[in-house]
Chain A
Amino acid sequence: AQKVTQAQTEISVVEKEDVTLDCVYETRDTTYYLFWYKQPPSGELVFLIRRNSFDEQNEISGRYSWNFQKSTSSFNFTITASQVVDSAVYFCALSEGRNAGNMLTFGGGTRLMVKP
């Protein structure tokens, strides 16, 4: 069975600080996909990144970066120089297996509050 754990329920930082959101996953499959979604106060789910289990390269997109480590089953997300607009709930999610239609299992989310 698949499981995603986001141990940090809430993080508060001051603007311009760097912040890392942790994500640990469990799966028995060797093929899987990991995702991060942002949920701003307006409620929608905004896709940030998708990573497959065979690609352990870290990725950077502007102020966002992701560190995927299979050895520790982690897929952490770092925001550099945080801004107030980054305030949201962030969800890590896992999709298991080779089947194209497999559902997403979400972690419990981390609420990030960036104060001016």
Chain B
Amino acid sequence: EPEVTQTPSHQVTQMGQEVILRCVPISNHLYFYWYRQILGQKVEFLVSFYNNEISEKSEIFDDQFSVERPDGSNFTLKIRSTKLEDSAMYFCAEKGGLGGYTFGSGTRLTVV
């Protein structure tokens, strides 16, 4: 089964720094998503992306977050100025034609 690849698997950054999380999607999928999971808590929706623009976003996805698909392949989540509470596991997900959601293996972000 095709996999969704996320890089890096773990990133440690200092508070206030910018981070970019990357996702390499399965080529023929149309819908892309970012979710996050604070340690020990549930998985929360951040944003959905379709046809190179945001289609839906949650309250968590404020001005410090942005997404793009710069080269038509990689799908990125940028956090402009990280805060301690941004520490979480971030999952990229895609939705294929049959309606299934495929999740990447996640990036664990630690803000110190």
Contact = CB atoms under 8 A, between A and B. Distances in A.
Interface of A: 33, 35, 37, 43-45, 47, 50, 91, 93, 95, 100-109
A104 B31 contact: no
B49 to A, nearest CB: 9
A105 B99 contact: no
Nearest to A103: B45
Contacts of A105: 45
Contacts of A100: 30-31, 95, 99
B56 A103 contact: yes
Given A44-B103, A50-B99, A106 B50 contact: no
B50 A104 contact: no
| Interface size class of chain B, counting residues whose CB lies under 8 Å from the partner chain | 20 to 34
Nearest to B43: A106
B45 A104 contact: yes
Interface-central residue, B31, B89, B101, by most chain A CB under 10 Å: B101
Contacts of A104: 33, 35, 43, 45, 93, 101
Contacts of B43: 45, 91, 93, 104, 106
A101 B55 contact: yes
B42 A103 contact: no
B56 A101 contact: yes
Contacts of A44: 103-106
A112 to B, nearest CB: 15
Contacts of A108: 41-42
B102 interface: yes
13 contacts: A44-B105, A47-B101, A50-B100, A101-B31, A101-B48, A102-B48, A102-B56, A103-B56, A104-B33, A105-B45, A106-B42, A106-B43, A107-B42
